[in-house]
């Protein structure tokens, strides 16, 4: 596990910054299922459910696309997670 994220260059930093494509987990919405917490892919805007959710769509999205960094979509939270480096860090 790394001390810092080495994949910040893969975050889509266009103006305006990447926006969520949906208001909930894309796959769970299509399936009519529920989730616990949401994560936003900072490469493409995909919204997936966290690993506490039964479907774990955020992690499945990472495995399929190799987009490394997600941000919490929970109100009041600004942390990010890098799947590759397995490190959590705060949004500056």
Query: Mind listing the pLDDT tens digit for each residue in 1-11?
Result: 567 777 777 77
- Residue 1 placed within a domain: no
Could you list the beta-strand ranges (E) of 1-92.
38-41, 47-49, 69-72, 79-82, 87-90
Mind listing the pLDDT tens digit for each residue in 56-86?
A: 999 999 999 999 999 999 999 989 999 998 9
Cis before residue 16, ω within 30 degrees of 0?
yes
Residues 6+ apart with CB under 8 A from 19: 45
- Residue 76 placed within a domain: yes
Number of domains in the chain: 1
Expressed as residue numbers, the domain containing 29 is: 8-90
pTM for the full model?
A: 0.86
Question: How far is residue 36's CA from residue 91's CA, in Å, rounded to a whole number?
Answer: 22
């Amino acid at each position: 596990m790394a001390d810092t994220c080495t994949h910040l260059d893969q975050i889509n930093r266009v103006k305006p910054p990447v926006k969520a494509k949906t208001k909930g987990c894309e796959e769970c919405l299509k399936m009519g299922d529920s989730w616990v917490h949401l994560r936003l892919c900072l490469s493409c805007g995909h919204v997936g459910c966290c690993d506490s959710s039964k479907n774990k769509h955020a992690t499945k999205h990472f495995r399929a696309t190799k987009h490394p960094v997600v941000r919490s979509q929970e109100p009041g939270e600004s942390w990010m997670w890098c799947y590759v480096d397995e490190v959590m860090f705060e949004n500056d």
